[in-house]
Amino acid sequence: MSTAAFAAVDLIRAKRDGGTLTDPEITWLIRAFTAGEVTAEQMSAMAMAIFFRGLDGRELATWTTAMIETGERMDFSGLDRPTVDKHSTGGVGDKITLPLAPLVAACGAAVPQLSGRGLGHTGGTLDKLEAIPGWRADLGNADMLAQLREVGAVICAAGSGLAPADKKLYALRDVTGTVESIPMISASIMSKKIAEGTASLVLDVKTGAGAFMRTREQSRELARTMVGIGRAAGVSTVALVTAMDAPLGRTAGNGLEVAESVEVLAGGGPADVVELTLALAREMLSCAGIEADPASALASGRAMDTWKAMIRAQGGDPDAPLPVARHTEVVTADGEGYLARLDAMAVGLAAWRLGAGRAKQGEGVQAAAGVTWHAGIGDRVRAGQPLFTLHTDTPERIERAREALAGAVDYSADPVAPGPVVLERIAD
Catalytic residue (one of 15, 86, 87, 193): 87
Contact 223, 239 (CB under 8 A): yes
Choice among 15, 95, 121, 173 that is catalytic: 173
Q: How far is CA 395 from CA 146, 325, 327, in A?
A: 43, 10, 6
Residue type (1 letter), 69: E
Q: Which amino acid would we find at residue 367?
A: A
Candidate list 88, 188, 191, 261, residue with the active-site label: 188
121 given a catalytic annotation: no
3-state secondary structure at position 326: coil
Among residues 85, 94, 127, 166, which one is catalytic? 166
Q: Following DSSP, what letter does each residue of 382-410 receive, concatenated?
A: -TTSEEEEEEES-GGGHHHHHHHHTT-EE
φ, ψ of residue 58 in degrees (nearest 5): -65, -45
Nearest CA-CA partner of 209 in 341, 352, 339, 354? 341
Q: Which among 192, 220, 224, 308 is annotated as catalytic? A: 192
| Alpha-carbon distances, residue 237 vs 56, 75, 199, 280, 388 (angstroms) | 20, 18, 9, 12, 38
Strands (E), 299-399: 327-332, 337-342, 370-373, 380-381, 386-392
Neighbour-count burial for 404-415, b at 16+ CB within 10 Å, e otherwise: bbeebbebeeee
Instruction: Indicate if 87 belongs to the active site.
Output: yes
Which residues does the annotation mark as catalytic? 87, 166, 173, 188, 192
